[in-house]
Chains A and B, each alone.
Chain A
Amino acid sequence: MTETAVIVGGGQAGAQAAVSLRQGGFTGRVVLIGDEPVLPYQRPPLSKTYLAGELAKERLFIKPAAFYDKINVERILGKTVSAIDSRQQVISLSSGQCLSYQHLILATGGRVRQLDCPGAGHPRVHYLRTLADVEAMQSEFTAGARMVVIGGGYVGLETAAVAVKHGLNVTLLVARPTPLGRVTSPEVGKFFEDVHRQAGVTLCCNTGVSAIEDDAGDGQVAAVVTDSGYRVLADVVVVGIGLLPNVELAESAGVACDDGITVDEYGRTSVGNIYAAGDCANHPNPIYGRRLRLESVQNAVDQGKTVAATICGKDKPYAQVPWFWSDQYDLKLQTAGINSGYDQALVRGDIASRSFAVFYLREGRLLAVDAINRPAEFVAARNILSKGLSVSAERLQDESIPAKALADQTDPLVTENTAPESAQLSAQSGVQKRSQSNAIKHDRVA
């Protein structure tokens, strides 16, 4: 019987896993199943260039159909998987079709968290996760229309930026004290708040939504009622309040889940021959010494590669520095690392110049950077984090040192390497430290 790898989920992680299985020498059947009726596509442009009408639909697709044909990847699109029988190693599709597998990759991604208030089902209320979501709101996305964006995360901010540039009258409602409150610092959040205000967005922080009313009883205009008692009229409402990992299929098959599908550093779940990758997977991250569930292209791509390598017998533990980007107006925000738990935020550059970086440290050690129009700082931080280097706070902030050279000298106090020319040594010691923490983590997971 031919060995079969079935991939459930037609997003970035699923597509990557399919490609990487072939690159890794997997010669059996590869079947990619997606519940959307289209080939795997990139989601980031949906709230950026695609929403702005600057990107043709064909450009969204990760690979053209001919590519999958060439590498012999079967696609079952527009179908959902309803059950996994992990004993028999068979999955069932909602269409009734069954498929046997030797390897099952769950790349089921996530679904938008829905607004939970009276009237949330108003026809003018939209979400932004899928191509179909964008297409559903396109007719309402016209200059002069009143738009209310609910949510101050990446999706909300990017949508507001595109909409205001497109001539819509935009009100952005943010539940937290500053935008991007879940992922960045108040300093960076405040910066983006100011940027959006200057661009003409009416932005309200600390503002929740208590109801959506139908203004005239004809379904044409929504009235967004805030918890502070305002009533904002909208021709179109876009909700971006987070993602819920799609774990139900895994759970129903007895696969352990805890904020996502629990995987080890090789992408293996608690059930044999079942793997998970991407937004739905919760992995042990050796750089931070704890479990993370990440919603990003980087994570989807790298975990897709990890599970494919495991299946191909070329096990390579996942140990990537997380990174993210967001494009708003003329600004490119690039984040490397996770700043959670930081005790020091260092600004490099001048915030007013709209080109600066904020480094986040804990006990003197770099955790993350938010680089705004500062790609060199983003790259430097990725290198510092991936090599486990220690660079002093003074050095990180010293603009007389080019960003490219930040990692050239590590902090002797922290690295225990006192010779100033010992960048190489420090790098090695960092790697050793990492592999030690890897081992500790491995023990803990096992």
Chain B
Amino acid sequence: MIKVNYIESDGTQREVEVEEGVNLMDAALDNLVPGIDGDCGGVCACATCHVHVDGAWIDKLAPMDATEDAMLELTDERDKSSRLCCQLKASPELDGIIVRTPAGQH
């Protein structure tokens, strides 16, 4: 189990425990975190699970593949910290990670 902090655009923070190997989109869904829809079920096809990853954690993430990179272009608020959280799997080095949900997804 690792701790993941989801921060909504209005500042609401939720710390949830996530089993290793579970992706942060499913974890958000399981824990009723708003602002993360995951319409395609986590196959990187819809770009509705966009998050901004807190700076300290970006380098600890597995690099994004071409599909994720392309799909992020469909989001309005893309920046260097943007990821699709269906592609981020919980692992020990991500314990304590902070991700923010963009306003446009609420």
Contact = CB atoms under 8 A, between A and B. Distances in A.
A44 B41 contact: yes
Q: How large is the interface on B (under 10, 10 to 19, 20 to 34, 35 or more residues)?
A: 10 to 19
B74 interface: yes
Given A325-B40, A325-B43, A334-B45, A375 B30 contact: no
A31 to B, nearest CB: 20
Nearest to B65: A375
Contact of A376 (B26, B29, B70): B70
Q: How large is the interface on A (under 10, 10 to 19, 20 to 34, 35 or more residues)?
A: 20 to 34
B29 A63 contact: yes
A297 B40 CA distance: 7
A375 B71 contact: yes
Nearest to A375: B70
B54 interface: no
Pick from A45, A49, A379, A382 the residue with the most CB of B within 10 Å. Answer: A379
Contacts of A382: 74
A404 interface: yes
Contact of B67 (A64, A66, A67, A332): A332
Given A59-B26, A64-B29, A375-B67, A404 B41 contact: no
B98 to A, nearest CB: 23
A100 to B, nearest CB: 30
Nearest to B71: A375
B62 interface: no
Pick from B40, B42, B46, B66 the residue with the most CB of A within 10 Å. Answer: B40
Pick from A45, A59, A332, A403 the residue with the most CB of B within 10 Å. Answer: A59
Interface string B69-103: 11101100000000000000000000000000000
Interface of B: 26, 29-30, 32, 39-43, 45-46, 66-67, 69-71, 73-74
A325 B45 contact: yes
18 contacts: A42-B41, A44-B40, A44-B43, A59-B26, A60-B41, A64-B30, A67-B32, A70-B32, A297-B39, A297-B40, A298-B46, A301-B39, A375-B69, A375-B70, A375-B71, A376-B70, A376-B73, A404-B73
Contacts of A59: 26, 41-42
Nearest to A404: B73
Interface in A265-310: 297-298, 301
B89 to A, nearest CB: 14
Interface string A55-74: 00001100110110010000
Contacts of A26: none
Contacts of B26: 59
Contacts of A383: 73-74
Contact of B32 (A60, A66, A297): A66
B102 to A, nearest CB: 16
Contact of B70 (A66, A67, A378): A378
